[in-house]
Amino acid sequence: MPPERVDIVDLTSIVRHRVFKASALRGVSLLTGLVSSVAIANLGGADVKGITSAFAATTILVFTLGNMDLAQQVIKVGREQGDLDATRRRLLRLWPWYGGLSLVGVAVGFIAHKPYVSWVALGAFVYLVTASMGSAANALSGPAVVALGGLVQQLVLLVAALALWASGNLTSSMAPVVVITSFVAPLPLYVRAARPVSTGVGAIPGPSLVALMKGGMRWQPARLAQNLLIRLDLLVVAAVLGASSAGVYSVGVALAGLAGIIPAQFSLNSFFEAAQGSGKSLRKNIVAAVVAGSIGGALLAAVGWPFISVAYGKEFEGSYGVLLAALPGVIAYGSVQVHTNQMRILGTARSVFIPSILGLGSLVLALAILVPSFGITGAALASSCGCGVAAVSTYLQLRGARLAGKTA
């Protein structure tokens, strides 16, 4: 009797799927990021690690203020016009606007003798142009190219940190240099990935900057609330408990964030599908994100303690408590990410704002209650509380929409 033939069609389709490819690249990026984190923590100490993480978080929040989701508006208009090929050209025209805002910030910091302000303004500009082009690359080429960009960013971060350490300059004052260098690293890749894929590029006139800003301003409160939801905890720890505590905290949060690597790829896939005209996989992407996050969280909880002890040392032992406390929030936030990325193209700002503002309000309240009593672990619990509220609100919103559709 001949052996039973094993059908590998399903396995082949999984391996070829853009989410699998993106997740594989993110896995390599994950390992590189861990090496970078360990290197900065061990070579620079908790203070340098804390300031590096706090600077990155501050820069990204400033980016949110200046961004006004213009890249999202460009992609959304391109999809509606059937002219996504014009995306890169239209985004390049926004760079002078971003550069002007950055120069103002740099000048203010210089005049006020506040170099940190100037660094943040410069970092925000670099992050603006890179992130906007990354959105275009995702919309035109899929999530794998963004994952590859993340790998490039982590490699450059590691090389920059090692170079500064070798020259005796891996200090708190040089932390912005490391972060900004890593921010700009994926830009050439994204510019190429956002190139037009057909002839007759940009045949349809694009919207004016004013029109884009009007569209983006409707999203600004939602996006700002969402960025605060996932970054305010670290800034509070740095401000209230100090740079050293922020360093220990950032290690725990970063390790917990590894559980969100695969969910993030489903989020990027949701954005890609929406930009390409399909929004039917939202529920499937959300379920897959939560399942993948839960599996990753269980693995991290099991190996977190020995890894932190060996890789980071005694100074960072408190990071394990932060890891455990932050994991529920990371898992919950995966569903929020998927929903947000589809709504950015196919939905309304209100559908993102309500979960984000409810989550942010819960986070602020929980930080005020838990940080004084439980320190960095309390901050991580507050983060999970805020993300959990946002996830529940997202679920209730989707459930209400589904019920309304059935009864309509």
Write the pLDDT tens digit of every residue in 167-225: 999 898 898 999 999 999 999 999 998 877 654 444 556 677 677 777 777 788 888 88
Residue 49 to residue 51: CA distance in whole angstroms: 6
Half-sphere exposure of 363 (CA within 13 A, CB side): 29
Q: What beta strand segments (E) does 177-217 contain?
A: none
* Mean pLDDT estimate for the chain: 84
Q: Answer yes or no: are the C-beta atoms of 232 and 364 closer than 8 Å.
A: yes
C-alpha distance from residue 104 to each of 202, 250, 345, 383 (Å)? 32, 30, 31, 33
Instruction: Say what the pLDDT of residue 11 is.
Output: 37
Q: What is the pLDDT of residue 199?
A: 45
Specify the residue for token string 């998927």: 338
Q: How far apart are alpha carbons 206 and 81 in whole angstroms? A: 9
pLDDT at 204: 58
> Contact at 8 Å (CB) between 239 and 397?
no
- Distance separating alpha carbons of residues 360 and 387, to the nearest angstrom: 8
200 DSSP 8-state letter: S
Query: With a cut of 50, which residues of the chain have pLDDT below it?
Result: 1-16, 199-202, 406-408
Length of the chain: 408
Place of tokens 């040089």: 174
Q: Which two tokens stand for residue 342?
A: 């589809």
> What pLDDT is stored for residue 284 in this prediction?
84
